[in-house]
Structure 1
Amino acid sequence: MSKNHLGEFEEIVLLTVAVLADEAYGISIIDEIETRLNRSVSIGSLQTVLRRLEKKGYLESNLGEATSVRGGKRKRYFQLTTYGKKVLQETKEQRMSLWNAIPDLSIN
């Protein structure tokens, strides 16, 4: 078993960053989660998790260009690190192992 443990929301955020690829920034992540999972997400809870995931080394971020639409404010874009991809893969394998162990739900 991996020493890396993801909370449910951490896993959802990592997966969403992976889905969005080069367009993963705060509001786009929230919109994607709310659309796909019908789950309300506050910007504060998302920012907390993004900082935590970055600190753990699962994500990295960089600032985009300033735009007049945002009053000169720059977007912070997130992407998975190699380590983050590894942790997501391990998490997927753990989940699939459990799903496949259920006798009447096994997918072989």
Structure 2
Amino acid sequence: MRNQSYQLGELEELVLMMVAILNQEAYGVLVMDEIEKQVNRKVNISAVHTVLDRLEKKGFVSSFMGGASAERGGRRKRLFKVTTEGSQAIEFVHQTRNSLYSQIPKTLLSFS
């Protein structure tokens, strides 16, 4: 599964994982809010939308239009879901990070 196309920037990785966590309920504002809540990192909505568009162009997520809601003035949300390729990218990142982490000498990771 070592594929160079699975290389992701940090924000791309966060957004992709958040889309996976939200499981077909992901949309820009919710992804932004969840990143802040779960990672304690503020990101602006335009950065999230840019990353979602980039991930869609890479084939890691796909989008579809959700139903209209009164709270949005009858407008529909653009929702995102992770594709098979996106799932493979998440797995690649996970395996790569775990492999690197396991190579760090344990003495560097023990805090007194």
| Match of residue 97 from structure 2 | 95
Offset of residue 26 of structure 1: 1.1
Q: Which runs of no fewer than 5 residues in structure 1 stay unpaired?
A: none
Matches within 5 A, 1:1-108: 1-4=2-5, 5-104=7-106, 105=109
CA RMSD of aligned residues (A): 1.0
Offset of residue 22 of structure 1: 2.5
Q: Which has the higher contact order (CA 8 A, sep 6+)?
A: 2
Moved >2 Å (runs of 4+): none
Offset of residue 23 of structure 1: 1.6
Q: Which runs of no fewer than 5 residues in structure 2 stay unpaired?
A: none
Normalization by structure 1: what TM-score?
A: 0.93
Matched to 2:71, the amino acid is: V
Offset of residue 66 of structure 1: 1.1
Provide the identity percentage: 48
Deviations 1:41-90 (A, max 9, x none): 11100000000000000000100111121011111110000000001101
